[in-house]
A = this chain, B = another copy of it.
């Protein structure tokens, strides 16, 4: 991060002094990732000014690193011809990422202005569904026919002279079916006359183009891949996904899990304009309001008891709060386990037993301590007992709900992270209120 902060400071200094040439020099030697970090902290006019000083290649690299809303503002502030010239020089999969953020009309206009070949390539990629392997793949791989020799393969690589040749040579048959890969170091170590067939790896992990990006990421992590070939339904090679793109996916998916658990849009970032995130925030706050009113209506059932014994109102939120943390702890571990592929159907009952054991042990410990505190505070042993029992009961409910709700959501193909604190915690809250106030009401004559 320090590099980006230093660059930002230097850019501000040169901008302030109006030294355009020094600024250009500065940008030329900077990394695109740092430039895009610095840009997001500048006002739009300065962003445009700095951006126009970049070389076309660098401008492309910067564009594909920018946050969505900054990208959108910047592209709108630039001339369409200018944008299309930059996009032409970017790898198609990166162009797709940029174009995808623009409103349809603007995107079409810019694509029309681009070279036909590039524009068609981009449009083909855009036809794959969002968040699929097809969207992530690059077509800049190098493939040779399975009949080639090592010498022919090397000659082929030399001719294609791509800047970034990747790490594997792909081997295809006459009908472009993927039949193997050759890691480049094997190619280097082999005798030039060796047939490719003799050194290729046959057992290659590949994905079809409509595979969900999350599954691609899981495959990469599971089998330690550095590049994933993408094939069509007939196993013809279409492109490759690089590990850098997969790392971005892993980050995206982790952010999604973390934020959805909290009732926040999966793709919100700290600097998103508030208007853009208002809808999602408001939605969850209203859902929470609804569930809270529901919980309140349960309390309403016991208004008589509370009127008779106001102390109940003091202790009631403690039971609910403990139910809340119990549910949150359990659900979080389970949701993460599902995301990591560890929470398989075969282990649900083991996890349930673990959580119940934890609920009973911690519930008993917490219940005992809480009963002690309540007794010292109010001096009513029966009320303290009711409190302790209600807490233990609520923790058990929390364990069951926290384990089963995410699993059930997963079964119905709903993102289990939606099992956010909001909904299932309220459920436990209600059980907490109900058990404490219910027990207390049953025994109200002894409590007064």
Query: Hey, which bits of chain A sit against chain B, CB under 8 A?
Result: 1, 5, 8, 31, 33, 37, 41, 154, 157-158, 161-162, 164-167, 183-189, 218, 220-224, 226, 243-244, 246-248, 250-251, 254-255, 257-259, 261-264, 268-274, 277-278, 281-282, 284-286, 288-289, 291-293, 295-297, 299-300, 303-304, 306-307, 310-318, 320-322, 324-326, 328-329, 331-337, 340-344, 346-347, 350-351, 353-355, 357-358, 361-362, 365-366, 369-370, 373, 377, 421-422, 426, 429, 433
In the complex with contacts A328-B421, A351-B271, A247-B262 CB distance below 8 A: no
Please, which residues of chain B bring their CB within 8 A of the CB of A268?
333
29 A-B interface contacts by CB (under 8 A): A1-B344, A33-B224, A157-B188, A162-B185, A165-B188, A167-B226, A187-B188, A250-B250, A251-B340, A254-B257, A255-B340, A259-B332, A261-B332, A268-B333, A269-B340, A270-B333, A270-B342, A271-B347, A271-B354, A273-B354, A274-B361, A282-B362, A284-B329, A292-B321, A293-B373, A296-B314, A303-B313, A325-B421, A421-B421
Taking CB atoms, residues of chain B closer than 8 Å to A366 are: 282, 285-286, 289
A331–B263 alpha-carbon span in the complex (Å): 11
Chain B residues near A273 (CB-CB < 8 A): 354
Chain B residues lying within 8 Å of A271, measured Cβ to Cβ, are 337, 342, 347, 350-351, 354
> Which residues of B sit under 8 angstroms from A258, Cβ to Cβ?
254, 257-258, 261, 332, 335-336
Query: A259 to chain B: which residues have CB within 8 Å?
Result: 332-333, 336
Q: Shortest Cβ distance from A319 into chain B, in angstroms? A: 9
Establish whether residues B189 and A167, one from each chain, have CB atoms under 8 Å apart when the complex forms. Answer: no
- In angstroms, Cα B277 to Cα A402, docked, is 16
Question: Taking each of A277, A314, A342, which has the highest tally of chain B beta carbons within 10 Å of its own beta carbon?
Answer: A314
Contact A314 B332 (CB under 8 A): no
Residues of B near A185 (CB, < 8 A) are 157, 162, 164-167, 184
Residues of B contacting A161 with CB < 8 Å?
189
The secondary-structure label for the interface of chain A is helix
Are B224 and A244 closer than 8 Å at their CB atoms? Answer: yes
**What 10 A-B pairs come out closest when comparing CB atoms?**
A165-B185, A270-B337, A254-B254, A313-B313, A262-B332, A292-B321, A307-B310, A184-B184, A224-B244, A292-B318
Which residues in B have their C-beta under 8 angstroms from that of A274? 353-355, 357-358, 361
- Within the complex, the shortest CB–CB distance from A356 to chain B, in Å, comes to 9
For residue A344, give the distance in angstroms from its CB to the closest CB of chain B: 7
Min C-beta distance of A12 to chain B, whole Å: 10
Name A161's closest neighbour in chain B (CB-CB). B189
Complex CA–CA separation, A257 to B262 (angstroms):
13
A158 engages B189 (CB within 8 Å): yes
Q: Is the CB of A369 within 8 A of B289?
A: yes
12 additional contacts, CB 8 Å, given A31-B222, A289-B318, A306-B306?
Answer: A161-B189, A224-B244, A250-B251, A250-B254, A270-B333, A270-B351, A271-B342, A281-B362, A285-B325, A285-B326, A299-B314, A321-B429
User: A296 is contacted by which of B184, B315, B426 (Cβ under 8 Å)?
Assistant: B315
Chain B residues, CB < 8 A from A315: 296
Chain B hits for A223, CB < 8 A: 31, 33
Please name all residues of chain B whose beta carbon is closer than 8 Å to the beta carbon of A373 when the two chains form the complex: 293
Bound together, the chains give a CA A185 to CA B227 distance in angstroms of 15
From B306, B314, B336, B340, give the contact of A310 (CB < 8 A). B306
Measured between beta carbons, the chain B residues less than 8 angstroms from A316 are 313, 317
> Please, how many angstroms separate the alpha-carbon atoms of A37 and B226 in the complex?
21
> In the complex, how many angstroms separate the beta carbon of A1 from the nearest chain B beta carbon?
5
Cβ A289 vs Cβ B358 within 8 A: no
- B262, B289, B307, B343: the one contacting A307 at CB < 8 Å is B307
Q: Are A314 and B318 in contact (CB under 8 A)?
A: no
